[in-house]
Amino acid sequence: MRVLCVAEKPSIAKSISQILSGGQYTTRSSPVNFIKNYDFNYPQTRAQFTVTCVAGHLMNHDFTDAHRKWNSCEPFTLFEAPVVSFVAPDKKGIERNLISEAKKAQQLMIWTDCDREGENIGAEIASICRKAKPGITVKRARFSAIIAQQIHHAAQHPVALDMAQSAAVEARTLLDLRTGAAFTRMQTLALQSRLDQVKDVVSYGPCQFPTLGFVVSRYNQVKSFVPETFHYIFLALEPKSPKVKRDTPFTWRRGHLFEFDVAFAIYADVLSRNEQAVVTKVTKKNTKKWKPLPLTTVELQKAGSRLLKLAPKKILDIAEKLYQQGFLSYPRTETDQYDPQFDFMSLIEKQTADGAWGDFARSLQQGGFLSPRRGKNNDQAHPPIHPTAHAGNLVGDEKRVYEFIARRFLACCSKDAVGNETTVDIVYGGEEFYASGLIVLERNYLEVYPYDKWASKEVPNFNQGERFIPSVCELREGQTTKPALLTEADLVGLMDKNGIGTDATIAQHIEMILERGYVIARMEGATKYLVPSTLGIGLIDGYNEIGFDRSLSKPQLRRETERNMVQVCQGAKTKHEMIAEGIEQYKEMFIKAKRDFNKVVSNVRKYVQGNGGAGGPGGGGAGNNGGQAGGGGGGGGYGGGGGGGNGGGGTGGGRGRGGGAGARKGAGRGGGGFDDGDGNDGGPGPGGRGRGRDPITAVAPAVPASAPVRRVGGTTTNAINGGTTAARPPVSSTHPLSRHCFLYAYSSYAATGPARPPNSRQGVSQPPPVAGPSRIPNPMANPCPEVQCDCGVLAKELTVTKDNANKGRPFFVCGNDKQCNFFQWGDEPPQSVAQKGRSMTIPSAVPSKRSYLDRSMPQSAPTEPKRCRCDLTAVLKTVNKEGANQNRKFWACPNSEQARCGFFEWEDNDIGPSSGLVSGECFKCGMEGHWANACPNDGASSKRQKSSAKPKSNAGGACYKCGEEGHYSSGESFDRVDLPLLNVGLCSMHETRTGKTTVPNIFRFQRIEKRARSWSWRSDRKRDQGQREICLRRC
């Protein structure tokens, strides 16, 4: 019997021939220069074998001539237009070779890669061979590595070709062709006709846009992040033994608090107790650091990008090459568990020859072996990625990738690292702290896997009940840190989690958005971050603004497509059902997108105008199936240029990429056309629409000037630029402590600024603190202050780009997404405080004699936007209720109903905010600026704010008519919360009466922290951001 074996690549064909023939084979040429035919006898099956190969997909899919040209039809008709399949022009020689060899054979054995794409390529091969010889039988060889055992087993035990998997790939290819072509034509033609800056193809892909969406979403999170300062008590003990070379820090059990008043009050109370720290518990336990799971394709891309600093696609390309050379198992797998019968020892034996990890491999043979952990995934096709042979002559990145995989395999076969963890719990001043230490007893897998870190951290020996005086007790501050921009490893994880692409195609989609200029790679030190270009942000923000139920820039649609493919593979759904269902979904999205596309245009215009260049050289006419393909237009900064007719994209300028002749590009895997799934092919572009202009440069938006900072010791470090800014020094104390008057601490701090006690290092004397420094530095101390907008953040600097008298002139605008109307020319002296109409106050850390009735708010000049108590720009509203004030306009807080601060002011009020007077308060709703007889809120009791209970004040928590507490003039009662006072007094914000403080329900208190000995309370910050009050309770 004569058997025709067809592999997917020339290197695989040669390796299979060498293994099956034992090196005894005859080589023949084929119509294609890089493809050879190998003939040999295979006595195990008594057959004559001929081994040849293809070069990826043979078939291409495209529209007919009536729909191929961009201006031949409406883009919407492409959802139903006929699609034809044909052998790509550059694969005609491979087709002739298959037909010639199939005529001589009785059996066809498919040796393509064992995944969905490989099944589809196998089906294409079978279709061509059956045309030459209809009666030929078709079998499939299944293998996971190019090693003798698996290759012989596959040749002797062939199986049937899985046509269900092939049908799933076919359905996805046709669906991607239709949706990609329709959306690409629609958005390209619409943007080109309305924006002069857009000259080239603005391509759409069902995987490409959700991938871009992840990058834009993270960028927007970084841009909009506002750091928040928090405060915590830091406790440390100097080493008691010379063997311990550093202080022992203790962590506050509360973590940190965002209210400085609360943190300072607790800190002052801790110091006032003048107590020693008491060790309440010492816990010692054994702990482990788990060894890594077996390696999957996604984890290889993530870890390789993070640890080896290589692009995911490059990592997969190297792994694929090593697989073809027989050094690795198949590198595309989702399996993270080995079969129980897997032969580990033979593979470990091969690694003993390595000079770097050979000794560790021998230790595994001598009793150090332990079966790898079992993950949760098994694709039932391939084992986890592992080395199949020792490779001692690799260099460069190939060596680094192989070394990582080999070390990972040996680490999986080793034991977990073992350590002993000690936790010491203490109580100091009524507050709980803890310190932890670690001693690594057995490193085990860490000996061969340096990518994981687990270091010992010594802690002194403490005994339960032991007492000591801490060396350091400081009130420190830090800031919340912004999320980092996405790295390629982060993006791989997000795509895998959300079902965008497969483990084998994720890297291709990332490469695609980089090539097309939607995303730009930016290096920060040794880390590569992904930043969306101006066009990328404009497209995603525009589609998000349309408001789809399932957005084109979100992963839901593609996730459904991947799930449908699984159902087709399992036989639960047919190929035609999957295509029909997908087309109906995208039709609905297309209609809505086209109707509201002005939103996309306006967003793209906002980001692109003034930032991009012009487009690349166009040209290229229409080609046809039978003749020479038309020349493609050059690709500009946005992506590959358009091909004419059946031609691929022309050579790209900027970030564009060129396509080959014909409707497909090169010999990559993946279908043609607009296939955005597993393929790597360029699709047909708009023939004849090219214009001879310069390519647009993909521009990355600037990192926000108000980038959040990260607290590092006594300074704050800019997370992007690496610069530092002075931070407030910690509040500390010197031991032994004397009892402080808490009321004195509050009043003196508020009057003179933070009077810092000297440094708390025991035995080190410091000069007394100087009264007067404020929590906010004096802006006049800096001769060149940075420009801030009315929101209190750094203003954004821009340059006039329009052709007028001010072209090229710099100016400043609001740095908080235009929430205020700030504007200032950059070449003019900054406005003084008086000119700006707002006094710049320097608030103290703790308010002095501040009562519940302190309703003062930032004052604004009539020329500036009015500010509510939340320090936000107030909104102008109109009274709709019938009455004397109907249609009268008033200013109110812009927050949601639950978070409003209660600010109210009539627009036509004669008393302006700059007068410094507090307007009258309505006794019905509690708002200022109107009286009860003109209340626009109809006296809604739910909106009423009650003041503190002071009998002498008719605005306090007492009846308006009789002055008695516990009810209001309307008869509505309020709850009182009676709390015991601090043992050192009470701050001036509360009224003292018989040892208790009465707090009316003007504030809804939340318990934010509860421990065995103490807890604290804070007012609901959403309900009352302008009048935060604090109570402390101790048990």
Q: What is the 3-state secondary structure (H, E, C) of 294-352?
A: CECHHHHHHHHHHHHCCCHHHHHHHHHHHHHCCCEECCCCCCCCCCCCCCHHHHHHHHC
Q: DSSP letter for 367, please.
A: I
Q: Per-residue pLDDT for 926 more than 70?
A: no
Q: Per-residue pLDDT for 1020 more than 70?
A: no
Mean pLDDT of the 204-222 span: 93
Bigger pLDDT: 970 or 306? 306
Q: What percent of the chain has pLDDT over 70?
A: 65
With beta carbons less than 8 A apart as the criterion, state whether 410 and 364 touch. yes
Mean pLDDT of the 850-875 span: 54
Mean pLDDT of the 498-512 span: 87
Q: Per-residue pLDDT for 628 more than 60?
A: no
At residue 604, the pLDDT reads: 92
Q: Compute the 3-state secondary structure of the chain and give helix, strand, coil in percent, each to the nearest 5.
A: 30, 20, 50
At residue 867, the pLDDT reads: 79
Q: Per-residue pLDDT for 774 more than 50?
A: no
Bigger pLDDT: 796 or 371? 371
At residue 636, the pLDDT reads: 34
- As a whole number of angstroms, the distance between CA 912 and CA 901 comes to 19
Mean pLDDT of the 1002-1008 span: 31
- As a whole number of angstroms, the distance between CA 671 and CA 60 comes to 6
What does the buried/exposed string (b/e) look like for 241-272 if buried means 16 or more CB atoms within 10 Å of the residue's CB?
Answer: eeeeeeebebebbbeebebbbbbbbbbbbbbb
- Under the banding of pLDDT at 50, 70 and 90, the label for residue 977 is very low
Domain segments of the chain: what residues? 2-53+88-161, 166-210+486-704, 297-413, 948-1035
- As a whole number of angstroms, the distance between CA 866 and CA 919 comes to 15
Q: Per-residue pLDDT for 1019 more than 80?
A: no
Strand order in 709-712's β-sheet? 709-712, 715-718, 724-726
At residue 963, the pLDDT reads: 57
Mean pLDDT of the 726-752 span: 34
- Under the banding of pLDDT at 50, 70 and 90, the label for residue 952 is very low
- As a whole number of angstroms, the distance between CA 371 and CA 900 comes to 60
Provide the CA 916 distance to its chain's centre, in angstroms.
Answer: 46
Cα–Cα nearest to 83, from 183, 182, 186: 182
Taken as a whole, the chain contains a residue count of 1035
Mean pLDDT of the 552-570 span: 88
Question: What confidence tens digit (pLDDT) does each residue in 660-709 have?
Answer: 333 333 334 444 444 444 433 333 343 333 333 333 344 556 544 333 33
Architecture of domain 2-53+88-161: 3-Layer(aba) Sandwich (3.40)
Q: What percent of the chain has pLDDT over 90?
A: 46
Question: What confidence tens digit (pLDDT) does each residue in 404-441 have?
Answer: 999 999 999 999 999 999 999 999 999 999 999 999 99
At residue 123, the pLDDT reads: 95
Q: Per-residue pLDDT for 1014 more than 70?
A: no
Mean pLDDT of the 811-837 span: 64
Cα–Cα nearest to 942, from 926, 957, 931, 929: 926
If DSSP codes are grouped into helix, strand and coil, which group holds residue 254? coil
Mean pLDDT of the 628-654 span: 34
Mean pLDDT of the 71-96 span: 92
Q: Per-residue pLDDT for 493 more than 70?
A: yes
Is 434 part of the annotated catalytic residue set? no
With beta carbons less than 8 A apart as the criterion, state whether 266 and 1016 touch. yes
Bigger pLDDT: 910 or 118? 118
Q: Per-residue pLDDT for 71 more than 90?
A: no
The beta strand positions in 921-1000, using DSSP E, are 977-980, 992-993, 996-999
Q: Per-residue pLDDT for 627 more than 70?
A: no
Bigger pLDDT: 979 or 259? 259
Q: Per-residue pLDDT for 765 more than 80?
A: no
- Under the banding of pLDDT at 50, 70 and 90, the label for residue 369 is very high
Mean pLDDT estimate for the chain: 73
At residue 1022, the pLDDT reads: 34
Q: DSSP letter for 626, please.
A: S
Q: Per-residue pLDDT for 542 more than 80?
A: yes
Mean pLDDT of the 1013-1033 span: 34
* CA distances in angstroms from 121 to 92, 253, 503, 792, listed in the order given: 15, 60, 18, 61
Mean pLDDT of the 496-525 span: 89
Mean pLDDT of the 631-649 span: 34
At residue 1034, the pLDDT reads: 33
Looking up tokens 């065995």 gives 1012
CATH dotted code for 297-413: 1.10.290.10
Class of domain 166-210+486-704: mainly alpha
Question: What confidence tens digit (pLDDT) does each residue in 147-189 have?
Answer: 888 999 999 999 999 999 999 999 999 999 999 999 999 999 9
* CA distances in angstroms from 815 to 169, 359, 721, listed in the order given: 48, 59, 18
At residue 996, the pLDDT reads: 34
Q: What value, to the nearest 5°, has the Cα angle with vertex 378 and ends 164 and 206?
A: 55
Catalytic-labelled residue, pool 25, 323, 330, 852:
330
Bigger pLDDT: 931 or 457? 457
At residue 874, the pLDDT reads: 83
At residue 638, the pLDDT reads: 33
At residue 667, the pLDDT reads: 38
- Under the banding of pLDDT at 50, 70 and 90, the label for residue 798 is confident
- As a whole number of angstroms, the distance between CA 1000 and CA 75 comes to 66
Q: Per-residue pLDDT for 500 more than 60?
A: yes
At residue 547, the pLDDT reads: 81
